[in-house]
């Protein structure tokens, strides 16, 4: 029983990170029909930017800020202007392939310019355990959970409570009408790219101390975030959050109760079942069929 409690806490913590990554993924999809196959690499890169800054002698907090700013410039602004904008009118598939190539490019660049070895990464949360209901729970899990919840809460407040958020939603749901009623659609799309870049940098900051910084660590994470987004609902931010938490918990439970060898299969089978019975995702809206 104590085992289950620990698994749930760890699962919630990983799930919260998946949710952060998945939310950014659905934001990009909603505003610009971008399926970003490099999303996992987007999470991997900021940690290396921060590490590079630290190696150059910057203090930890400064490296974090620099890393987040660089991430927003490279993975937000540059990604949108150099890759998405020129390809947007060509449809979903070529752009998806281009992001696959981008994933290869980022991975290889990190391997070449930084290191092929895994590097450790300092944690923003103190290590150690605290006791909750008689269980020892690592502070790191709790810290990750708290930061991720704050980020998601901040984002949903922005989207649902502010006029900026309403404009973003309008731009995502119907760009033409939004444009007519005076929403600066282009600026809103750019904003979602910046938010995505911020979220992946945050996820990077939270997850890298646990799983180390490695050039190949984006693959697993990207895949988990995709599954989370699809399971929860491709076109819903709250769907992506629910999906992320669900996949995180499921993954941790599967590792303990299903064979470790087929651990990775459990979320996959779950994904297939969800898609077959509810293609729009558990919380998603069905997309209209176009003739």
Partner 1 sequence: MSGFAKPLKIALGLIVIAGVIVIPMNFNRYGLFILSQWAVMTIAAMGLNLTLGYAGQVSLAQGAFVGIGAYASAIMTTHGWPLPAAIVVAIVLAFAVGWVLGYPALRVQHHYLAFVTLAFSTLAFLVFRNESWLTGGIYGISNVPRPHIFGIATNKPLPFYYVCLGSLAIVSVAVWWLIRSPWGRAFMALRENPLRAQSLGIDTRRYTLMAFAIGSALGGVAGALYAPLTQYIDPVPFNLSLSLDLLMMVIVGGAGFYFGPFLGAMIAVLLPEWLRFTEGYYLMLYAIAVMGLLIWSPTGILGILDRYLAERRTKAASALRAVAKSRLETVQ
Q: Is 163 in the site for partner 1 (CB under 8 A)?
A: no
- Is the Cβ of residue 26 or residue 196 nearer to partner 1 in the bound state? 26
- The footprint of partner 1 on residues 191-230 (CB under 8 A) is 219, 223, 226-227, 230
Q: Is 268 in the site for partner 1 (CB under 8 A)?
A: yes
- The footprint of partner 1 on residues 27-66 (CB under 8 A) is 35, 37
Binding mask 119-138 for partner 1 (x = CB under 8 A): --------------------
Whole-number Å distance between alpha carbons of 231 and 149 = 20
5: alpha, beta or left? (left if phi > 0; alpha if psi -120 to 50): alpha
* Binding test (CB under 8 A) with partner 1, winner from 152, 234, 245, 247: 234
Q: Is 146 in the site for partner 1 (CB under 8 A)?
A: no
Whole-number Å distance between alpha carbons of 217 and 77 = 23
Using CA atoms, how far residue 256 sits from 14, 136, 265, 283, in Å, is: 15, 18, 13, 27
Q: Is 261 in the site for partner 1 (CB under 8 A)?
A: yes
Spell out the residues 6+ positions from residue 225 whose beta carbon is closer than 8 angstroms to its own. Answer: 18, 21, 22, 25, 39, 40, 43, 244
* Binding test (CB under 8 A) with partner 1, winner from 27, 200, 271, 283: 271
Q: Are the C-beta atoms of 186 and 24 separated by less than 8 Å? A: no
Write out the two tokens for 125: 């949360």
* Binding test (CB under 8 A) with partner 1, winner from 1, 56, 93, 133: 93
Q: How far is the CB of 11 from partner 1 (least distance, A)?
A: 20
Report helix, strand or coil for 8: helix
Bridge partners of residue 136, in order along the sequence: 131
* Binding test (CB under 8 A) with partner 1, winner from 13, 63, 98, 151: 98
Phi first, then psi: give them for residue 40, nearest 5 degrees: -60, -40
Residues near partner 1, by CB under 8 A: 35, 37, 83, 86-87, 90-98, 100-102, 104-105, 108-109, 111-112, 219, 223, 226-227, 230, 234, 261-262, 264-265, 268-269, 271-272, 275-276, 279, 291
């Amino acid at each position: 029983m104590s085992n289950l409690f620990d698994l749930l806490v760890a699962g919630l913590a990983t799930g919260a990170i998946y949710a952060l990554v998945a939310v950014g993924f659905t934001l990009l999809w909603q505003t610009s029909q971008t399926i970003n196959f490099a999303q996992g690499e987007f999470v991997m890169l900021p940690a290396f930017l921060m590490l590079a800054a630290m190696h150059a002698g910057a203090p930890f907090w400064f490296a974090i800020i620099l890393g987040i700013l660089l991430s927003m410039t490279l993975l937000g602004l540059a990604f949108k202007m150099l890759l998405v904008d020129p390809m947007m009118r060509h449809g979903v598939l070529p752009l998806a392939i281009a992001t696959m190539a981008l994933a290869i490019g980022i991975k290889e660049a990190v391997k070449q310019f930084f290191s092929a070895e895994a590097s450790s990464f300092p944690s923003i949360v103190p290590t150690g355990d605290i006791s909750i209901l008689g269980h020892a729970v690592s502070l790191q899990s709790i810290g990750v959970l708290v930061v991720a919840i704050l980020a998601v809460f901040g984002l949903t407040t922005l989207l649902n409570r502010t006029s900026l958020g309403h404009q973003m939603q309008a731009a995502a749901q119907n760009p033409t009408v939004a444009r007519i009623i005076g929403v600066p659609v282009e600026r809103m799309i750019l904003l979602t790219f910046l938010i995505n870049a911020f979220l992946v940098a945050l996820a990077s900051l939270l997850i890298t101390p646990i799983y180390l910084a490695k050039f190949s660590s984006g693959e697993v994470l990207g895949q988990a975030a995709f599954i989370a987004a699809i399971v929860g609902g491709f076109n819903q931010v709250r769907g992506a959050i629910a999906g992320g938490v669900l996949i995180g918990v499921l993954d941790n439970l599967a590792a303990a109760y299903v064979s470790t060898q087929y651990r990775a299969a459990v979320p996959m089978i779950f994904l297939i079942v969800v898609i077959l019975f509810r293609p729009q995702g558990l919380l998603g809206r069905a997309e209209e069929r176009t003739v």
